[in-house]
Amino acid sequence: MKMASTFTFALLFVLFYVNSQAKPMNALWRTGQLHFWNKVVLEGDIAYNWSAEMVSFREPDGRVRTYSANQVAEFSWFDHEQNKRRNFVSLVRPLDNERTSQRFFEVCIDGPLTVVRRFRKPRGPFKHAFSHPDHSSDQPLLSQNIDMFDYFVLDAGRLLTLSKFHAEIYKPLMTTYHEELRQYILTHNINDRALPGRLLLISRYNTMVQYDPKTASNKGFSGAND
């Protein structure tokens, strides 16, 4: 019992020390656009903080203004590290059976099945140590780590979690191309029980839908807003 208590104390001390020594991530500013709900558009330097779920805009004189998903409908910038344009949208997220909240999600896959993601905040006794906004500015080390995020398919306003891929997404939405997708899995040795494999299947499904004459008119998230 004494040894267990000593170990717990040592673990707490190490975690406290590591967290106290960790340097805050400086905001990474990129040139992009903010689209407000009132249709106002701002262009300039923007930065996003995943934990705070706030997007900042830097004025030409250096002043910084910060906005929430209740104010900004969408924003985007070109990420030179990933060589692609990254888009974020404000969506309604259920809190429980009665309450909802407006939150930012990044669009990962655009198409008939749009995939979005949100920062997975740590749980448990050390959640505050590892989810402080000082350590969750959008940086390559964070944004390119898929294990740091929860992924969803956006379907008619609903957020369907990829952790329940077969029950909530594949069976009700993707079985039109079941044979083609199963062949794709076998040919490319895809593990559809892991997140990367599920994302590949959704991308493949979107491609087939878009090139199928019967369903070619289906639009993704960006097309739906045109």
Tens of pLDDT, residues 173-194: 999 999 999 999 999 999 999 9
Residue 24: how many other CB atoms lie within 10 Å = 11
Q: Where are the domains of the chain?
A: 19-164
21: confidence class by pLDDT, cuts 50, 70, 90: very low
Residue 162, burial from CB neighbour count under 10 angstroms (0-12, 13-18, 19+): middle
Residue 151: how many other CB atoms lie within 10 Å = 24
DSSP letter at 23 equals P
Residue 10 has pLDDT above 60, yes or no: no
DSSP letter at 120 equals -
User: Which residue has better confidence, 99 or 224?
Assistant: 99
Burial 58-85 (b: 16+ CB within 10 A, else e): eeeeeeeeebebebbbbbbbebeeeeee
Tokens of 104: 């930012």
219: confidence class by pLDDT, cuts 50, 70, 90: low
What integer is the mean pLDDT of 20-33? 71
Report helix, strand or coil for 25. Answer: coil
41: confidence class by pLDDT, cuts 50, 70, 90: very high
Distance CA 101, CA 97 (A): 12
Residue 226, burial from CB neighbour count under 10 angstroms (0-12, 13-18, 19+): exposed
pLDDT (tens digit per residue) in 56-72? 999 999 999 999 999 99
Distance CA 142, CA 24 (A): 13
pLDDT score of 103: 95
